[in-house]
Structure 1
Amino acid sequence: MQSRFKQAALFSVKLLLSVGVLVYIARGLDLRQLRDHLVSVDPFLFVLALALIFLQTFVLNGRWELIMRALGVSLDWLAGWRILMISLWFNQVLPSSVGGDAVRIWLLRQRSVQLSKAIKGVAADRFTALIGLIALMVAGLPFLLSRVTNQAALLAIGGLTLAGVAGTLVLLTLDRLPKRLIALPAIASFVRFGTLVRFLLLQSERRGLLFGSAILIHLVTAVACYALARGVGAQLSVVDAGILIPPVVLLTAVPISISGWGVREGAMVACLGLAGVPSEQALSVSLLLGAISVIIGLVGGVIWLASPERGSYSADKAAKAAEEAPGFALGQGKEASSHP
């Protein structure tokens, strides 16, 4: 009972934050102009963005399959894609304390995958995506410095990038700490997780394909946002999209709102504003991207309705199965690994 109360309280806080940020952003905008942008978006470019985000799920599944194979788990491609799509249904359409990652772990357990490997596979998939995102932000810093004059924004994005680099390096080198620290229960699981990710990125046979797919996924998101921006008449270049969308994705991944709603809109308005995109157009891009995520989630919902595991599903069991995952809280936000 107490656990459910905490879950309900957390959900309420996230909901209030999402609504509060959206209301705060909308107060300073021309809502009629925003509505015009949304209803007059170029249908071809919207469908193009939708197709890109949908095709992105296949790349996401391919990356996850590589990780599971490295763990010794043979995951059928179609089965993996089905699990991924179902997780997006939970993550996008039915946000709760039990996110899509918990459902992924639970569904793997239904396929007799060991709990430890299921947790490692999902957590490593998340963190690999995060590393790809940070790498893209590092690569974009020189372009950012040459195109943006707002010093506060440069410091914010630069600081966010450096913090990501530092955090990644710390996690990947935790096993270099003194043995007495590594043995502590609170650190030991992160040490094992960091060692796994380091193996995947530096020693596994498919490391190039794995890291490349992690970067490609975020580039696809940037191109989809570029298409949406052009669809509402915004003068956004491909280069600016490639530089400014990754920070939006990273901030959206922070699990403090409902499926990233509110946080994504605030970040999108702030970041695209650096490229001269009016707030109304930037917000419409974010809302359209959110709508696409919901559409993709609905596809996952249809798959879930036809899933044989649906009859035995329990939110409590799914949450319990995922509690041991290092950094699992990241999975409760909008992923840095898939749709922003």
Structure 2
Amino acid sequence: MVAAVAILVVLAARLGARPFLDGLAHTDPRGLAVALVVTAATTACCARRWSLLTTGLGVPVPFRDAYRSCYRAQLVNATLPGGVLGDLHRGYRRGRQAGALGRGLRSVVWDRASGQVVQAGLVVAVVPLLPGAVRGWVLGVLGVLVALGVLALATAAPLRREAAAALDGVWPEVLLLSALAAGGHVLVFLVAARTVGVEVGTGPLVALALLVLLASAIPASVAGWGPREGAAAWVFGATGLGAASGVEVAVVYGVMSLVATLPGLLTLEGGPAWVSGRTSS
């Protein structure tokens, strides 16, 4: 939280309040409608992925319940500090109901990790479309993260066994679902950029979107704000589009994403016990 607030303070000090205010002003109903529809689809992808992984881990969640829980988690992530409390909650509830708290929590870790691994792979694929000033940094950071991940799996046999169990027979579908979910988020980002009036080719803009969205997954935000705006200012500035434009796009995207999670309010009451927080007798 301190890091996220520091990023926002630095951006405001360097760029002023105008990019933030302009971002709010450029948010329009059509963009919000697109975000609602696309997010309904990406949430379905994420819910299906989590349902597959929980089955392999022995704490299965039916797709319908997973869909409701993922929507609720997104709402909590978008409104509370950290950006991961909603996911922790769905893992905790699933684990408590199944009598396997550790596996329930780790199912969410594997769920998020699988999505971010695919997203990182997509960033690598679009590196040639990124500005030269950014490519080296991106490849360096991703290289370190890959090395750490490989080291963790190589030195921890339980992790390898659990990953194999979670992905056994379903890894192609998990990869596809993760790619579709990432594509949906990119689409919302493109709509935000075009709403602001960013004039750059679709290919380079997709590359920028993937990089910003990967940075936004860092669990050190204030309800999703901070790393996303910092990354957008950096990459847009390096591209020559202007750091202010990057912040403006990130603000529009943030508002669109927040509104798109509002269907999660429907899961707060009347849902399954492990979603609504009730326990069975």
Q: Does 1:131 align with 2:131?
A: no
Q: How far apart are the structure 2 equivalents of 1:280 and 1:46? A: 22
Find the aligned partners of 1:84 and 1:260 in 2 and give their Cα distance. 16
Inter-CA distance 286–229: structure 2 relative to 1 (3 Å threshold): same
2:214 aligned partner, one-letter code: L
TM alignment of 1:289-328, pairs within 5 A: 289-307=253-271, 310=276, 312=278
Q: Give the structure 2 partner of residue 278 of structure 1.
A: 242
Residue 196 (str. 1) matches residue 177 (str. 2):
no
Structure with max Cα Rg: 1
Contact 1:219–1:242 (CA under 8 A) maintained in structure 2:
no
Alignment of 1:210 with 2:210, yes or no, is no
Moved more, 91-100 or 126-135: 91-100
Partner of 1:253: 217
* TM value normalised by structure 2: 0.85
> What is the CA deviation profile of residues 66-102 of structure 1, one whole-angstrom value per residue up to 9, with x for unaligned ones?
1112223442211111111222232221336981222
CA distance in 1, matches of 2:83, 2:197: 37
Q: AA paired with 1:241?
A: L
Q: Is 1:88 paired with 2:74?
A: yes
Cα distance in 1 for residues equivalent to 2:82 and 2:32? 28
Distance 1:69 1:56, change over 3 A: same
1:167 counterpart residue number: 148
Call closer, same or farther: CA 1:36–1:124 in 2, change over 3 Å: closer
The one-letter amino acid paired with 1:159 is: G
- CA offset digits 1:132-172 (Å, max 9, x no partner): 1221122122333xxx232xx22211111212222232233
Q: Distance in 1 between matches of 2:170 and 2:277?
A: 37
Instruction: Give the aligned CA root-mean-square deviation in angstroms.
Output: 2.7
Offset at residue 259 of structure 1 (A): 3.0
**Which residues of structure 2 form unaligned runs of 5+?**
none
**Aligned equivalent of 2:43:** 57
Structure 1 range deviating more: 32-41 or 118-127: 32-41
Deviates more, 1:250-259 or 1:132-141: 250-259
What is the number of residues matched between the two proteins?
A: 277
Secondary structure at the aligned position of 1:126 is classed as helix
Q: What residue in structure 2 maps to residue 158 of structure 1?
A: 139
Structure 1 unaligned runs (5+)? 1-13, 176-190, 314-340
Q: 1:230 to 1:157 in 2, by over 3 A?
A: same
Q: Deviations over 1:217-260 (max 9, x none)?
A: 22221221111100111113321233222332332232333233
Indicate the residue corresponding to 1:149 in structure 2.
132
TM-aligned CA distance change 1:206 to 1:274, over 3 Å = same
AA paired with 2:30? F
CA deviation string 1:104-157 (max 9, x = no partner): 12321454353243123212112211211221122122333xxx232xx22211
Counterpart residue number, 2:85:
99
Note closer, same or farther for the CA distance 1:172–1:214 as it changes in structure 2 (3 Å cut): farther
Indicate whether 1:115 and 2:96 are aligned: no
Alignment partner of 1:103: what SS?
Answer: helix
- Counterpart CA distance in 2 for 1:199 and 1:29 is 49
**Cα offset, 1:36, TM superposition:** 3.8
Query: Residue 200 of structure 2 corresponds to which residue in structure 1?
Result: 236
